[in-house]
């Protein structure tokens, strides 16, 4: 069944599944059953279905419902996860579930709660229900619900305002992510509110404002819309006419074997957001990542990644996760949570949630103690000691070393922050923290390194 037939079903008039109103941050009980399905035949065709397996991977703070967050024209429920004793001034992530899912489902499996504990940020999990759409899909295809100041889009904006007030979140570091129908809504929100969201991540999703009616939804889902990058970019610019501020940095995740939302949507998303940024569609760099993932990076005029496209070879429809206890692991596998790579982790690095602010001036104390496995280019799993330098000891009082950025960090001559490498002492930006970018570092005084690609001299 096509998306227009599924996500576009008329309101069923059933009670919302969020249950009795709760106040504050009361822990929410997990659902014991699969929820309301329109029938077994629909399950395999859902744009982002998926029920949960696995226990919550966050601290005892738990997921709680927040009420009274605004006029709520989209009839959504607001849930949040806030690590214990989280100080003010931390980032905020908004995470949108897929069809048939709930906030609890996404909290349990996506890995965002785990990362919130590790890096220190709050997460809001909006939830729609069967009163809005019989399959509990966010209405990414309905211009009365997914545009600035209207419906579900405004409800999510009100949740952000509430979270900033409640938790003291940094309003300049608010991000939105989603899966499938939730990803379609996330793309719309990035276009609607570029003044609110500093970045976004779209997993198995669709371009912003690809469809504005239910009848157009299946075409977006299944086929190439044959629009130019400029035409795609115009859809974003028209969502907030006259906006002249900075645009969000966007990560795009898609499986090459997705038969529910065609992989061409990832290309269209790439075209859309690179055009919005005023940059070309040829990648500035590509990297191999775990889970048969290829990362294509599109840099802005200052050489910083503005758009990142992650293509997972052989993956179907779902959110990439990678259960485990390693630095780069997160999430729980299940229906539409696919064990390939932890997309939430790499997205968090892209946004600088690991403690960096994604600026050109990271703190010198952002030391090399960060695990090298957190690099977006760690798929070859090199040994930190596998240096190409004949004299790699960082304890030498003065010297000159030529090596890739990964090994320079591992040897203690540089540090990484937000996916970039910086020379210790001088804080010079060395580019992406990976195996492919090579620089020469000169130690001019104990622990102070400068880039010396033209040679160290005498």
Catalytic positions: 180
CA triple 245-249-250, angle to 5 deg: 130
**Per-residue tokens: 253:** 């995740």
**Per-residue tokens: 148:** 């600035």
Q: Are 191 and 209 in contact (CB under 8 A)?
A: yes
Q: What is the DSSP letter of 338?
A: E
Q: What is the 3 state secondary structure string of 183-194?
A: HHHHHHHHHHCC
Strand residue runs (E) in 67-197:
77-81, 92-96, 122-127, 174-179
Task: Phi first, then psi: give them for residue 297, nearest 5 degrees.
Answer: -110, 135
Largest CA distance in the chain: 79
Q: Which residues contact 399 (CB under 8 A, 6 or more apart)?
A: 391, 442, 443
Q: Is 137 left (phi over 0), alpha (psi -120 to 50) or beta?
A: beta
294 by Cβ neighbours in 10 Å (0-12 / 13-18 / 19+) ranks as: middle
Q: Is 340 left (phi over 0), alpha (psi -120 to 50) or beta?
A: alpha
Give the 3-state secondary structure of residue 247.
coil
Q: What is the DSSP letter of 87?
A: P
Write out the DSSP string of 290-335.
Answer: TTTEEEEEEE-TTS-EEEEEEEETT--SSEEEB-SSSTT-B---BT
d(CA 337, CA 168): 31
**Per-residue tokens: 302:** 């200052």
Q: What is the DSSP letter of 146?
A: S
Q: What is the DSSP letter of 373?
A: G
Closest listed residue to residue 202, CA positions, set 156, 149, 248: 248
Task: Phi first, then psi: give them for residue 311, nearest 5 degrees.
Answer: -110, 125
Q: Are 210 and 246 in contact (CB under 8 A)?
A: no
């Amino acid at each position: 069944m096509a998306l227009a037939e599924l996500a576009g079903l008329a309101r069923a008039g059933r009670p919302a599944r969020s249950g009795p109103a709760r106040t504050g941050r009361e822990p929410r009980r997990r659902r014991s059953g699969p929820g309301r399905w329109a029938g077994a035949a629909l399950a395999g065709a859902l744009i982002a279905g998926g029920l949960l397996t696995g226990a919550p991977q966050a601290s005892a703070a738990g997921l709680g419902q927040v009420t009274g967050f605004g006029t709520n024209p989209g009839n959504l429920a607001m849930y949040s996860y806030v690590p214990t004793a989280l100080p003010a001034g931390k980032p905020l992530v908004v995470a949108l579930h897929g069809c048939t899912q709930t906030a609890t489902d996404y909290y349990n499996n996506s890995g965002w709660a785990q990362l919130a504990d590790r890096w220190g940020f709050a997460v809001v999990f909006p939830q729609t229900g069967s009163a809005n759409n019989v399959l509990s899909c966010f209405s990414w295809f309905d211009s009365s619900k997914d545009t600035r100041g209207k419906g579900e889009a405004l409800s999510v904006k009100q949740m952000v305002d509430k979270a900033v007030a409640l938790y003291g979140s940094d309003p300049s570091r608010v991000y939105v992510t989603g899966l499938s129908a939730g990803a379609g809504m996330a793309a719309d929100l990035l276009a609607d509110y570029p003044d609110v969201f500093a970045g976004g991540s779209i997993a198995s999703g669709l371009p912003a404002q690809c469809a504005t009616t239910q009848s157009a939804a299946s075409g977006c889902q299944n086929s190439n819309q044959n629009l130019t990058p400029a035409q795609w970019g115009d859809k974003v610019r028209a969502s907030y006419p006259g906006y002249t501020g900075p645009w969000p940095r966007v990560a795009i995740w898609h499986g090459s074997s997705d038969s529910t939302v065609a992989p061409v949507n990832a290309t269209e998303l790439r075209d859309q957001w690179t055009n919005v940024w005023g940059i070309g569609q040829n990648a500035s760099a590509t990297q191999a990542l775990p889970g048969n993932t290829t990362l294509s990076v599109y840099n802005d005029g200052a050489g910083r990644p503005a758009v990142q496209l992650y293509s997972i070879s052989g993956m179907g429809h779902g959110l990439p996760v990678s259960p485990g206890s390693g630095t780069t692991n997160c999430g729980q596998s299940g229906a539409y949570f696919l064990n390939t790579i932890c997309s939430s982790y790499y997205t968090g690095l892209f946004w600088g949630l690991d403690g960096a602010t994604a600026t050109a001036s990271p703190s010198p104390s952002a030391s090399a103690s960060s695990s090298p496995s957190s690099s977006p280019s760690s798929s070859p799993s090199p040994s930190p000691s596998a240096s190409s330098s004949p004299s790699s000891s960082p304890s030498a009082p003065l010297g000159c070393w030529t090596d890739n950025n990964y090994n320079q960090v591992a040897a203690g001559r540089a540090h990484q922050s937000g996916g970039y490498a910086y020379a210790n002492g001088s804080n010079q930006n060395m580019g992406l923290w990976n195996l492919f970018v090579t620089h020469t570092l000169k130690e001019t005084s104990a622990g102070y390194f400068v880039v010396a690609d033209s040679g160290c001299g005498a």
